[in-house]
Every structure is written in structure tokens, then in C-alpha cells.
Amino acid sequence: MPFRLLPKVLLWVMLTVSCLGAIATLQRPEAGMPFSVQSQTEQQQMAVTTAVGFAREWMAWDGSEMPEARLQRLKTYVNPEMLARIADLQAESQTARQQVIAAELVSLVSSASPHFTVRVRVIALNPERVNWELEVPVWAQTGQGAAVTGPPLIRLPQTSPVVPAQENAETAISADMKQRLRPMIESFLKAMCEGKDAASLSNYVTAEAKLLPLAGRIRFASLDRVEGAGAGPYVVAATFIAQDAASGFRFAQVWRLTVIQENGKFFVSKTAV
């Protein structure tokens, strides 16, 4: 190698080493951080999943179930050292039953990572329908898993929150506009419920709309109410009664539609929750 090239080669080597060191520093967690945000999120998800699954199994009571079978159901979720104590269940009769219908998260509190308290709502039949809420202590650690660390605490169910009415910055449509929209909305809903394919909607939707009808799985019964806002496009809430085609049961539906006007006719461009 010519002597005059040696300084350039050394310079490039020094620059490369410096860049690699800088990248390694950026990727290395800061000192003093117990876990990253991603790790914390993973631990929370593990804690919730474990608590909800455990609550469903723990609240399933069967007087004829053998203790070994109950231990087998719960051991997936529980710290082995606490399993016998947590799983213990004494029934007054073998005919006693409690069937769990659903279990769902209410709240999550982190006392000191990786320890969490997860509040779970359990809906059961006993034999009447009953609601329970449990506070489940869970230990969760990324890369190791999660486990219930103690018996759940039974709490009074919280009352359902009253959701404040959503404020709409758009001006509500007039009564006259509601009447003008009503025939098209009614025809569109009937076509959506009972139409066989996308062509069934061609008279009621825009060319860009990507909507498919329900092919008669439910039937349109009656349009009860039309509310909306905007000056075009219009955001319309249509309340109607639908009927299950198989069982005949009727139930309420509220569909929110975006409606535009073209050449004096109204068309649906999309639906939303």
C-alpha cells in the first residue's frame, strides 16, 4: 500500500469505529431505567390476560368436581407455591353449581412493577344471573410470564358509568331535511339487510362506497328515527328495528351513515360505528 494512502485509511477506520460506538450507545437502555415502555406494556398485557383467565376458572364452581381437576384448571395461572391455597373450594353439596358466562377487565393498577392488581368483572349463573368483581394480585415479568400470587379479593360491583352526551360541532339538520332523507335511508337499510350482492345497493350508494349487504341474514322491519348534522355531507344516525331471519327475534340497530347529495338525490358514501 502506498505510504500516502495510509493516513486516509486510518481516518476512515476511526470514523467507522466512532459511528458504531454512537449507534451502540443509542440502542443501549439508559442507566437507572428499570424497564422500557414496551416492556411495561407487555407486562400489563400479561397481567390482564392472566387475571381474566384466572377469574373465569376460579369462579367456575362445581360441587362434583374433584380437587385434582380444579387444581389442574388453575395451575396455568397461579404461582405453584400458592396453588393449593388459592384453588381450595369446599362445597355444601355435589349439586351446587356456578357457571361463568363472561369475564372482563375493569381496571389495572401497578403497585410496584412487576406487581399488579387487576380488577375483573365476572358474570355468572348461580342459578340466577349474578355479577361479581374480583381484585386479582398478579406478578408479570417480560420473558418469564405471569402468575397470580394470592387469593382474589371479592368486591362490590361498580355501577356502570354515565357516558356524557357527545357534543357535535356541526349544525343539526332540519325537520324538513329529515323528511327528505327518510325515504332514501329506509330503502338503503332494507337493501343492506336483504340484498344479495353489491349490485343491490347501486341505487343508494356512491361509486366509491365499499359496502356489501347482509344477504338476508337479518330483515329490515321499520325505521324509527332519523337524526343528523352537517350541511353536506351529512352525518346521519338511523335507528331501526331489525329481525333475525332464522329465529324471528327483533332488536334495535343504530347505523351512522355519511350521506352526500348529487343532482338532487341522496347517496350513502360510508357507514361507521
Domains and CATH numbers, the chain: 37-155 (3.10.450.540), 175-272 (3.10.450.540)
Q: Please check the confidence at residue 15 and state whether its pLDDT lies above 70.
A: no
Can you tell me the mean pLDDT for 171-190?
92
Q: Please check the confidence at residue 80 and state whether its pLDDT lies above 90.
A: yes
Mean pLDDT of the chain: 86
9 or 254, which is more confident: 254
What's the pTM value of the predicted model, to 2 decimals? Answer: 0.69
Encode pLDDT of 215-255 as tens digits: 999 999 999 999 999 887 899 999 999 999 999 999 999 99
Q: Please check the confidence at residue 20 and state whether its pLDDT lies above 60.
A: no
pLDDT of amino acid 6 = 54
Burial of 129 (0-12, 13-18, 19+ CB in 10 A): exposed
Q: How confident is the model at residue 208 (pLDDT cuts 50, 70, 90)?
A: confident
Q: How far apart are CA 94 and CA 114, in angstroms?
A: 39
* Residues of the chain above pLDDT 70, percent: 85
Q: Please check the confidence at residue 145 and state whether its pLDDT lies above 70.
A: yes
Give the closest residue to 158 by CA, choosing from 129, 137, 127, 134. 134
- Amino acid residing at 175: A
Q: Please check the confidence at residue 4 and state whether its pLDDT lies above 60.
A: no
Encode pLDDT of 93-120 as tens digits: 888 899 999 999 999 998 777 999 999 9
Q: How far apart are CA 181 and CA 232, in angstroms?
A: 12
